[in-house]
Amino acid sequence: MSDSKPKTGESASPFNIFAKTFWTEGWGSIITAVMIALFIRWAFFEAYVIPSGSMLPSLLIHDHIFVNKFVYGLRVPFSEKWLVEFNPIKTGDVIVFKYPEDMNTFFIKRVVGLPGDKIEYDNGVLYINDKVVEKNVPISEEDWNWLTDNDFKNGHVGLGGPEQFAHFTESLADKKHTIIMRKNRDYDERFRAVTVPKDSLFVMGDNRDNSKDSRVWGFLPKENILGRAMFVWLSCEDTLPGIRFLCDPTTIRWKRFYHQVN
């Protein structure tokens, strides 16, 4: 009759990587789970939180979004260099990227210009390759209706109340999205025409008068891109006091769950 007690010695050690139980029940299973999670975060998906109003009304402050990091390709780990590239970046894509002036800060904007495109912005009118990007009557009021009095009072939209702003539907390539602009524009400083260089992009926020984007800090190097925004998986009007990264459950915007980012 065999002894049912566990054997002592090397095989019984919880740190014996050659023991089957190390990988199924011991520390190895925890290490494996962590490595899988880190791999998924590096290669496929990562969550981010919208901190500002530069993408209003498409994305609200405290929207928690999932970003597809696999859609454009894979990078060399711990590097900005592409290991392999898949789908091309398209005009109209909403992307998360490392801010060129501080690589530890992440921004989210919409791609307006690709390499070789000529971009100009004059008194609220966007030109791409000398053609006006038309602004039409909104397809829906849904995006605009998400804005609250606090968004205007706190300056998230811009200075002024709702009556001083208008929203439009803009089409970039095959993507239709909502933008916000100030009404009664007498004069706006002109952003003179530039041509997007190789391996770079021109990006802008949907909140056109309250966005720090390529009009301010220049072209975005393609290697700074982290991925394309997919959908909102959690959203709230406010966070817990003293814990700015956790949603206040009493202010959750339930209807924004799985809201697609257009």
Q: What topology does CATH give the domain 16-260?
A: Umud Fragment, subunit A (2.10.109)
Chain segment 163-174, per-residue pLDDT in tens: 999 999 999 988
pLDDT for 196:
98
- Which 8-state DSSP code applies to residue 151? H
pLDDT bin (cut points 50, 70, 90) of residue 100 is very high
Average pLDDT of the chain? 85
Taking the CB of residue 178, how many other CB atoms lie within 10 A of it?
21
Per-domain residue ranges of the chain: 16-260
Paired tokens of 163: 């009556």
Taking the C-alpha atoms of residue 75 and residue 69, their distance in angstroms, rounded to an integer, is 9
Chain segment 142-161, per-residue pLDDT in tens: 999 999 999 999 999 998 89
Q: Which residues are identified as catalytic? A: 54, 109
Strands (E), 99-224: 106-113, 118-122, 125-128, 131-132, 135-136, 165-172, 175-182, 191-195, 200-204, 220-221
Taking the C-alpha atoms of residue 114 and residue 92, their distance in angstroms, rounded to an integer, is 10
CA-wise closest residue to 49 among 235, 181, 197: 235
How crowded is the C-beta side of 48, counted as CA atoms within 13 Å? 24
Chain segment 194-232, per-residue pLDDT in tens: 999 999 999 999 999 999 999 999 999 999 999 999 999
